[in-house]
Structure 1
Amino acid sequence: MALRTAPAPPIRPVDRGLRLVVRAVVPEAEDVVSLRLAAPDGRDLPRWWPGSHLDVLLPSGRRRQYSLCGDPGDRTSYRIAVRRLPAGAGGSREIHDAVAAGDELTVTGPRNAFPFLARERYRFVAGGIGITPILPMVRAAHRAGADWTLVYAGRSRASLAFLGELADLPAERVIVRTDDEHGAPSGADLLAGVEPGTAVYCCGPAPMLDAVRGAFPDGATLHFERFAPAPITDGRPFEVDLARTGVVLPVPADRSALDVIREAVPEVAYSCRQGFCGTCRVGLLAGDADERAVSDAADDGLLICVSRASGGRLTLDL
């Protein structure tokens, strides 16, 4: 039987900008801090549901997406958690090194690219910082009286955030598996005991998602979120013509236009690299585009992180 992957709903762009103050920065695990964000005047914040995230504008001008990992019932504040990535593009290092309690940040949202749907039975699979969207889902399933289990994997217990909060849930439903104690888990380890009709929600690094997809049982449904773009497996080579400079760049079948353009124009704006935030939107001047955005954020342009050419060349307003 083919893998049943839940269809992704359209993600509507949220233009609601909020200026929030950082009320607290809390160490949660090795290289993980959480930020509690609130309105400066203490007013209630917009509602959100499990799976939602914020677009956060950092002081440097970088824009990054972070899952909400607090309590959706708490309208007084939002909580996000960030793992420092030494080899990342700089957003996580900036939050760890340059953002402190009392600072103000501009955020957009909340919006939901990973919706939590009502089901009778769940398996939650979280790898490392992938616990952030999963934690509110676990709480919601528990409050609803659903049959659920969580498998939470990572390098070591010291690297896993929110273990103290998970300890308040039934111990028999929470399985913590660390590489230093058991080795890296296989897909079969992560999905052990999953029955037909189970909704599996998974968030973690790419190898974990690949393992889950490879071992997925018949009769269950997979919902997942990536923190990095999926590999391009169905692309065709094309060219992008940067109209402002006349430079023409070849885009190989297995690379995105964004990655190629950034080598020539390092300052080009980007964020999610998955086709929903709209940060990399540029004007399309000529050519037929294969638009692969998963949101409406490209209504007046092209998201170069995911979109490709239907023909041989795209001329862009760059």
Structure 2
Amino acid sequence: MRRMRTLGLRNFVHLLPLTAFLIVLICFFRFNNLGQVINERKGGRKFSLSYQDPSEKQELIQVLRRATMPDRTVILTMVDESHASPGSMLEILLQSFKSGQGTKRFLNHLVIIAMDPQAFEYCKLLHPHCIHPSTFEPYFTIKRHSIITLEHNVLTWRRNNVLIEVLELGYNIIFTDADVLWLKSPLANFNPTYELSISCNFSSGGEREDSLREGGIFFMKANAIALEFLKHWKLSRILYPNPNAEESLCETIKQNVEITEAYGFRVHGVDANHFGGLCQLNKDMLEKVYTIHANCCDGLSSKVHDLRIVLDDWIHFNASEKMALRWPQKCTG
């Protein structure tokens, strides 16, 4: 009898890894099928974590087809009502494309994802490639239920879900934050053979070892490796929620070197001197940088104020008018 109990215990111990794997697998499928059990009613219409009908996904497909470059690359940005209104960040972003060196052509490839109906309506007045919020409704409406409480992390969480959707359709992505000015074409800085090309900057207000933040723009290649890496990141945040964790791609890669190597997820580090920000100032900035990110800046109104000055300085700089940098003024970190 004792021997039988010993054998039973040993068999149970051997089954523990398989049991743990099955639990993780069940959690993954439950998360990806939450739309079947969790619904929210808005205006008489139910929204779940999956497309309600083929027309919503078809809208995304049609917009991406119209906006794609020949190599199936699209430029994505995300805005809400605070970014898309008269005199707002969206107007400055679009103006930078028009005023940059060789960047106006990229407007044809820019897809703006609106996170609320107000942003979508204003976007349509300014740009031909706007995505209605119902296309990604689940990712935008679960904010109040999110396991992530930091506003920056919430935005990153929603963005990564959108990246997965677009990569699954086979489109390479250049993602740009709305508070980034495009002064020159950044494409030469991206390595299309790598899964990710990104510039990482140290966060402000702390030691260099604290955390790494994205430079406001990155390139991601549409292949199975990139897709599986994002899905792993997504699943790990469900299984091991940490509201205080830094959610940037740069910090995630830094903290998960073994995972990136296991997936074969290759990262091309872009020279941070070419992707500037209000934290990284130097007198030759307008000559060297391709984009400028409104980092070291907390308030949206402060970002709009200082980016307008940057854009105005850039226009005068192109007219061969030498000047001292007049910014930042309100963005002081």
Using the size of structure 2 for normalisation, the TM-score is: 0.29
Looking at CA atoms only, which structure, 1 or 2, has the larger radius of gyration?
2
Structure in which a larger fraction of residues adopt helix:
2
Structure in which a larger fraction of residues adopt strand:
1
